[in-house]
A and B are shown apart, each in its own frame.
Chain A
Amino acid sequence: MSSKMVRLHRVAKRYSSQRSALNDVSFDLHRGEFAYITGGNGAGKTTLLKLLFAMERATEGTILVNNRDLSIMPQGKVYQYRREVGFVFQDFKLLPDLTIYENVSLPLEIRKMTRQEVDYRVRGVLSLVGLGDRATDFPLTLSGGEQQRVAIARSIVGKPSLLLADEPTGNLDSRTARDILSLFREIHEMGTTVVIATHDEHLMEEFPARVLELHSGRVVRDKNSQER
């Protein structure tokens, strides 16, 4: 396996003296790995992803992503880090006033890429997710599955080395959910490290990968896909 891309060491996140979302979490992810983070409601899945995306800061411990220590990263540098990491939200977070093309091109507009480069990349990822002919439509005219595809397209258009997804199939029916997971697999096969937070056991069985199970903020199981 290639080098370790994500390293968490004794990470904890506390919101108050009574409320602790994560406790003593340690694990590594290798470059190009595909992993699930699973657990019941309140297990700490979303909190863990937020820490990996620098949306929040760990109370204790260290988080290294591509050798960057997120626990001490200055707030003014967070925007640079986020350009290297893609994030797919459960509620898609598409902008309703923008077309599909404009939504997907946003990450590239932020990077001030040329019009030609933006067009090339956006059309490429829309084609990958199967929505090449819907570029001029608005998000509200799409189904839930299609909106999630757009969100995925937007998250990978910047060619991130790490892709995080928080319950990406939570609002979708089972068939659509499988299609979405297939898409994540396809992205993974292109070399992206993928981490998906989910509690859908059926999907994890259908698309086996490493599973990190959380319970009450602690890692209670770390099972490789080969271990059955």
Chain B
Amino acid sequence: MNTRAVKRFARDYTRHPWLHLVSIMTITGALFVLGIFMVCYHNFDELASKTNPRVTGTAYLVDGLSTEKIDELYESIVLAEGVHKAVFKDKKQVLSELDSVLGSASLASVPGGEMFPDVIEIELKENVKPAAVDALTASLSQKPGISEVDFSDGWLAQYHKLRSILKVVGIALMVGMMIACSMIIANFMGMRHQSRREEMDIVQLMGAQRSFILWPFLWEGILEGLLAGVISLGALYISTVALSHYASVQWSTIFEGHKLAFLGPVQAGMLGCVGMLMALGGSLTVFFRFQSQSK
């Protein structure tokens, strides 16, 4: 570790504490906003996986199939790729269930009831992709004895779409925040670095290499970014815990027993790295700007 460079940064910090503080708080604010988004996405993801979004569907059988044929179809469906379980229901069971939903007095009172086919209700495995559902539908539809297959998977496609959109929005937000904050930080650093610019010019006249001038800027970016990352993670954690407690009290019917999850170690590490990159971006922008203006 370049202790001299760190000492020079520390010296500048004690001489311009407020400007350094503003830089750190800017990064902290940006990381906090990003962190909120990450926590929301993380909890959405956790919730989605816990609710086990299973796709269900129905294979409608043609009339007049023998028991052996029905058994054969049932076996082939159970063994098909992606199928978790299947249940055969004859038309009487279907009408009975419909009757209980509609609240009718008897089977005979349901108009057209004799037209209901036998069905095999199918439940797919967890996390099955829409493309796999389409493939299964196509495969089952071609089996003799099955007139129609219907999987109500429109919501699944929407669910995956939403997750993809959230991911893209999250990345775009992160990149946009990084660029914007780097520029803001560069402006704050620029104010502080007018005196540093004079030092750069003078030490160059004394025979300093570029690396001697560059290192304090790098350490400044790394240390300020790390500090901002730690502060923002702490604030995020406190906010998450507080919000979780508030939600479980105020909306106990919805959130009882469920706590908001905080970021995992990898996500927290990513947030810290983003902070460092923002601070480094600001520092290096100032350094190269001054280099181009100096002799």
Contact = CB atoms under 8 A, between A and B. Distances in A.
Interface of A: 53, 55, 79-83, 87, 93, 95-98, 106-107, 109-112, 154, 158
B195 A106 contact: no
B15 to A, nearest CB: 5
B205 A87 contact: yes
A82 B198 contact: no
Contacts of B198: 95
A80 B206 contact: no
B144 interface: no
A110 B202 contact: no
Contacts of B12: 97
Given A96-B195, A97-B15, A110-B212, A83 B205 contact: no
Contacts, number: 45
Contact of A106 (B11, B206, B209, B295): B206
Given A80-B207, A87-B205, A97-B199, 10 more contacts: A53-B205, A79-B204, A79-B208, A82-B206, A97-B15, A107-B206, A107-B207, A110-B203, A110-B207, A110-B209
Interface of B: 4, 11-12, 15, 195, 198-199, 202-209, 212, 295
A82 B202 contact: no
Contacts of B203: 106, 110
B129 to A, nearest CB: 57
Given A95-B199, A97-B195, A109-B4, A55 B15 contact: no
A81 B195 CA distance: 25
Nearest to A109: B4
Contact of B205 (A82, A111, A112): A82
Contacts of B207: 79-83, 107, 110-111, 158
Nearest first, the 4 closest Cβ-Cβ pairs linking A and B are: A83-B207, A82-B207, A110-B208, A107-B206
Contacts of A53: 205
Nearest to B12: A97
20 contacts: A55-B205, A79-B204, A79-B207, A79-B209, A80-B207, A82-B206, A83-B206, A83-B207, A87-B205, A95-B195, A95-B198, A96-B195, A97-B11, A97-B15, A97-B195, A106-B203, A107-B207, A109-B4, A110-B212, A112-B4
